Structure 1
Amino acid sequence: MVTVYKQLGEETIEALVDRFYDYVDKDPRMRFLFPDDLTETRYKQKLFQIQFLGGPNKYNETFGHPMLKMRHMPFPITTKERDAWLDNMSKAMNDLNIPDDVKIQVLRRYEITANAMVNSR
């Protein structure tokens, strides 16, 4: 099976995360969830996405198991924030000209994960 990591490569995944956070930084629907300085957030997300998309376990090796649900519990995440996350990631993928077949595959996985992060009404 060819992973998304192999299809896109690490540089593209890192660029995708950077573009995503460029959108997040300007998005009032979700900006309040993040620290003022997004440097560490970008770094952690890059390691996570590399692993999530089939690459090396860099996140686990550096920070341990992601425990996504637990890590997101302190933050109020409603369907509004979920939709904003998915929207910003979709725009970032469009900006980087991610092939449609890969984009559809990845967005399906993100939707499942994003739905699981919703913890507030």
Structure 2
Amino acid sequence: MDDPTVEIYEKVGGDAPFYALVEAFYRGIETEPLIRPMYPKDMTDAKKHLALFLIQRFGGHTQYGEQRGHPRLRMRHVPFVIGEAEKEAWMTHMMAGVDATPEFAPFRQVMLEYFESSAAFLVNKSEVPSVG
């Protein structure tokens, strides 16, 4: 089974588009009342970690893994309560980052599918339906 995500890094020309995506993503997070509290006050390291993770995940160098080990996404997100609303807020800002980075336009759908799947995987708060 081919994974089309692993070819994106080379096709967009390296690191720069991923850093641009991360900057755009975090501009949205800065003013996002629902999930901003999940991030540290100084997001410098968070930005670096996300950029390196995305670079590695989308077929680039493995500096993220060399520095931080296996991504362990679920474990790293356990301290945070993540429900559908949080997932959707995160997706809104991540896709805004993708859309703000022209190099990713040809890969928007495959990236949307990856991010949607990953975000759904991190949901750890069950939504209880309200009864009449």
TM over 0.5: yes
- Equivalents in 2 of 1:22, 1:111: separation in Å? 20
SS of the residue corresponding to residue 3 of structure 1 reads: helix
2:44 to 33, 39, 43: 39
Task: Choose which of 29, 32, 38 in structure 2 pairs with 1:27.
Answer: 32
Establish whether residue 92 from structure 1 lines up as the match of residue 97 from structure 2. yes
Gaps of 5+ in 1: none
Closer, same or farther: CA 98–84 of 1 in aligned 2, 3 Å: farther
Structure ID, larger Rg: 2
Q: How large is the RMSD of aligned CA atoms in angstroms?
A: 1.4
* Partners of 2:98 and 2:105 within 8 A in 1: no
Cα distance between partner residues in 1 of 2:16 and 2:105: 19
TM-score under structure 2 length normalisation:
0.85
CA distance in 2, matches of 1:75, 1:66: 16
Identity over aligned residues, as a percent?
33
Q: Equivalent of 1:114, from 110, 119, 125?
A: 119
- 1:3 and 2:7 matched: yes
Offset of 1:57 from its aligned partner? Answer: 1.3
Gap runs ≥5 in structure 2: 127-132
The question of whether the paired residues in 1 share the 8 Å contact of 2:8 and 2:58 is answered with yes
Residue 29 of structure 1: SS of its match in structure 2? coil
Q: Give the drift of 1:92.
A: 1.4
Corresponding residue for 1:13?
18
Corresponding residue SS for 2:102: coil
Q: Deviations over 1:63-98 (max 9, x none)?
A: 111100111011111111111111101111222224
TM-score (norm 1): 0.93
Going from structure 1 to structure 2, the CA distance change for 1:20 and 1:77 (only over 3 Å counts) comes to same
1:62 maps onto 2:67 in alignment: yes
